[in-house]
A and B are shown apart, each in its own frame.
Chain A
Amino acid sequence: MKKLFAKHNNWFFKAGFILTAVMVGVVLLGQIWTPYDPNAMDASVKAQGPTLRHLLGTDFFGRDILSRILEGAGATLQIAFFVVLIGAVFGTVIGALTGYFGGVVDEVLMRICDAITAFPSVLLALIAIAVIGPGRLNVIMVLGCVFIPSFARIVRAEFVRIKRLNYISLARLQGVGDFRIMLKHILPNTLPTLLPAISIGFNNAVLAEASMSFLGVGVSASEVSLGRMLSDSQNYILRGLPWYAVFVGLTIALLILGFSLLAEGLQQRR
């Protein structure tokens, strides 16, 4: 960790790290404690703007928006985490194997990956959800699968590049086996590329989940998520009460911004 800071001592990384840490920290805190019960309705404070008691205002049912945002952000981050986990782990395995061994399997798999990455991920996920139905688990599975090809591509390119380098040839000469080479010799050298990709992955996962839930094809209607809340907030705008939408949108935007800055910072040196 300290090494990361030393290597990437630029503004983007610092800003991104702080923003991400703050956002994630707040959301994690929100899992144990929120100012109010996100589902508690209080008729006396219906549809209010930000006040001292309700820092981000209330909705039509008198529910505290800040608490709901915390809960929704928790769901969104949880989904994003598993999506990136699935995408990165499977993508790395596939990319490593195809990049190192090549062959017909490599050609075929890469064509498939190219076809999948040609499509905007939200579109693919949308269609898949249309088939299997909404719900948190479904979203994770679908988005996870949609993310695998892009990770695979990145890791494969690195493996193809690195396996030709002298120090790998030397390792083979010394009798190091293929899998050990892949895992211990090549993989650590792919981190400078993999880490920003993971950060961008979070970026895209949050965006995708929010978009999908917004459209109603993400988490199911009874579950809370930032996207769903954003969709609900549309009604509020029409009646001239914009703060709900702005706050939810701002939360999403800040989450994404944090990851995006972090990714940019990881790609730059200084």
Chain B
Amino acid sequence: MKFVLKKLATLLITLLILSFLAYAAFEMVGDPVGMILGTNATPEAEAALREELGLNRSLPVRYFDWLFHFVKGDMGTSYIYRISVNEMIGEKLGLTVILTLFGFGLTLLMSIPLGVYSARREGSFADRALTVSNQIVMAIPAFFVAILLTVIFGVLLRLFTPGSFVSFNESPGRFFLYMLFPALSVAIPRTAMAAKMLRSSILGEMQKDYVRTAFSRGHNRRSALRAHALKNALLPIVAFLATTAAEMLAGCIVIEQIFSLPGIGRLLIASINNRDIPVVEAIVMILAVWVMVVHFFGEVISEALDPRLRS
């Protein structure tokens, strides 16, 4: 329990520091007033707008004001569109989350059987072939997988139309079909990595004494594998999965561009280009929170499962 609290405290402090740094960095970028009003604006109009947006206050004041609102759920107002950031982000966040979860789920679904199979047939032709292809697939960037999938399934096989996103409301079936490909793009390279790690982790466990004792007691290979080794083998993977979940978010940003998904990745890029600072700040905070929370859970779960702590 003390461990959890300590980690939680570290998490919050890091988030605070990051949010301040990010906020300060963005505020220094430039004057949004000029961007909004255009070059023909009069000094009075600029001053008035500055007052309205609260930009004439000092940095720490602005920061705390922003933070205060953020924590309450109010992420400010877009400079460009003049609507609340919450509105802008709302659905898009949901979509990105779905994509990330979908991708993560696919990774688990594909990597565990692969890893186990590889470990069981260690040394066989199938295992060696898988190892080599794993190594290759691991190196393929997600967006190339995306392009290949688009070309094969979109252009050639016409299973979906590249670039035209189908929302859930229009047609749930075709929504998931469309989402399958971006999710696969993110999942496939990660699956290769996860399968490789799982395989070596399992093989490592199988060497250990407690597994050998199980053998000697008459468990056959399969049940020994499943019962004990798998559980312990998964342990070091937890940390890796946490990193994967965090990275998947970054991957999603690029994938959203390729598949024209209206998620926060695309929104982030657009806002950066538009200099729509409040939106950028809000999204960056969300991403930071996501990454830190995922890591936090990863560490807590790791610690909880650690066999050294089992009394």
- Known pairs A119-B291, A215-B257, A246-B148; A207 contacts B141 (CB<8 A): yes
B29 part of interface (Cβ distance < 8 Å): yes
List B contacts of A211 (CB < 8 A).
141, 143, 254
Interface residues of B (CB under 8 A from A): 14, 18, 22, 25-26, 28-29, 132, 135-136, 138-141, 143-144, 147-148, 150-151, 154-155, 162-163, 246-247, 249-251, 253-254, 257-258, 268-269, 272-273, 280, 284, 287-288, 291-292, 295
Top 4 closest pairs, chain A to chain B, by CB:
A120-B250, A260-B139, A249-B144, A257-B139
Q: Give the complex CA separation of A250 and B145 in angstroms.
A: 10
Shortest Cβ gap from A240 to chain B (Å) = 6
Which A130-162 residues have a C-beta within 8 angstroms of B? 130-131
Chain B: CB-nearest residue to A259: B139
Shortest Cβ gap from A216 to chain B (Å) = 6
- Other-chain contact of B291, A118, A126, A215 (Cβ < 8 Å): A118
A230 part of interface (Cβ distance < 8 Å): yes
Q: Give the complex CA separation of A260 and B132 in angstroms.
A: 12
Chain A: CB-nearest residue to B164: A238
Q: Does A234 contact B258, Cβ atoms closer than 8 Å?
A: yes
- Other-chain contact of B155, A217, A230, A240 (Cβ < 8 Å): A240
- Other-chain contact of B136, A120, A249, A257 (Cβ < 8 Å): A257
A28 part of interface (Cβ distance < 8 Å): no
What 1/0 mask marks residues of chain A from 40 to 65 whose CB sits below 8 Å from any chain B CB?
A: 00000000000000000000000000
Chain A: CB-nearest residue to B28: A131
List A contacts of B292 (CB < 8 A).
118
Shortest Cβ gap from B146 to chain A (Å) = 9
Q: Give the complex CA separation of A122 and B287 in angstroms.
A: 12
A214 part of interface (Cβ distance < 8 Å): yes
- Other-chain contact of B254, A11, A203, A215, A238 (Cβ < 8 Å): A215
- Known pairs A118-B291, A238-B162, A240-B155; A215 contacts B269 (CB<8 A): yes
Pairs A–B under 8 Å by Cβ, sample size 10: A119-B291, A123-B287, A207-B141, A234-B258, A237-B163, A245-B147, A246-B151, A256-B140, A257-B139, A261-B136
Q: Does A252 contact B141, Cβ atoms closer than 8 Å?
A: yes
List B contacts of A35 (CB < 8 A).
none
- Known pairs A131-B29, A242-B155, A252-B144; A237 contacts B22 (CB<8 A): no
A115 part of interface (Cβ distance < 8 Å): yes
A191 part of interface (Cβ distance < 8 Å): no
Chain B: CB-nearest residue to A211: B254
- Known pairs A120-B246, A215-B253, A237-B162; A253 contacts B144 (CB<8 A): yes
A127 part of interface (Cβ distance < 8 Å): yes
Q: Does A131 contact B14, Cβ atoms closer than 8 Å?
A: no
Q: Give the complex CA separation of A216 and B257 in angstroms.
A: 11
Q: Give the complex CA separation of A75 and B154 in angstroms.
A: 31
Dominant SS at the B interface? Answer: helix
A66 part of interface (Cβ distance < 8 Å): no
List A contacts of B268 (CB < 8 A).
126
Which A205-255 residues have a C-beta within 8 angstroms of B? 207, 210-211, 214-217, 230-231, 234, 237-238, 240, 242, 245-246, 249-250, 252-253
Q: Does A131 contact B26, Cβ atoms closer than 8 Å?
A: yes
Q: Give the complex CA separation of A260 and B246 in angstroms.
A: 21
A12 part of interface (Cβ distance < 8 Å): yes
Q: Does A253 contact B29, Cβ atoms closer than 8 Å?
A: no
Chain B: CB-nearest residue to A128: B25
Q: Does B291 contact A260, Cβ atoms closer than 8 Å?
A: no
List B contacts of A246 (CB < 8 A).
147-148, 151
Q: Does B249 contact A120, Cβ atoms closer than 8 Å?
A: yes
Q: Give the complex CA separation of A130 and B140 in angstroms.
A: 27
Chain B: CB-nearest residue to A120: B250
Shortest Cβ gap from A257 to chain B (Å) = 4
Q: Does B257 contact A253, Cβ atoms closer than 8 Å?
A: no
Shortest Cβ gap from A18 to chain B (Å) = 14
Chain A: CB-nearest residue to B156: A242
Shortest Cβ gap from B285 to chain A (Å) = 11
Q: Does A216 contact B254, Cβ atoms closer than 8 Å?
A: no
- Known pairs A122-B250, A131-B28, A217-B272; A256 contacts B155 (CB<8 A): no
Shortest Cβ gap from B8 to chain A (Å) = 15
A264 part of interface (Cβ distance < 8 Å): yes
Chain A: CB-nearest residue to B257: A215
Q: Does A257 contact B140, Cβ atoms closer than 8 Å?
A: yes
Q: Give the complex CA separation of A260 and B25 in angstroms.
A: 34
List A contacts of B250 (CB < 8 A).
120-123
Q: Give the complex CA separation of A102 and B273 in angstroms.
A: 43
List B contacts of A230 (CB < 8 A).
143, 147
List A contacts of B253 (CB < 8 A).
122-123, 126, 215
Most chain A CB inside 10 Å of its own CB: which residue of B136, B141, B151, B258:
B141
Q: Does B22 contact A216, Cβ atoms closer than 8 Å?
A: no
A130-B272, A253-B140 are known contacts; what are 19 more A-B pairs with Cβ within 8 Å? Answer: A118-B292, A119-B288, A119-B291, A120-B251, A120-B291, A123-B250, A127-B284, A203-B139, A210-B141, A211-B254, A215-B257, A234-B163, A234-B257, A234-B258, A249-B148, A256-B140, A257-B140, A261-B139, A264-B135
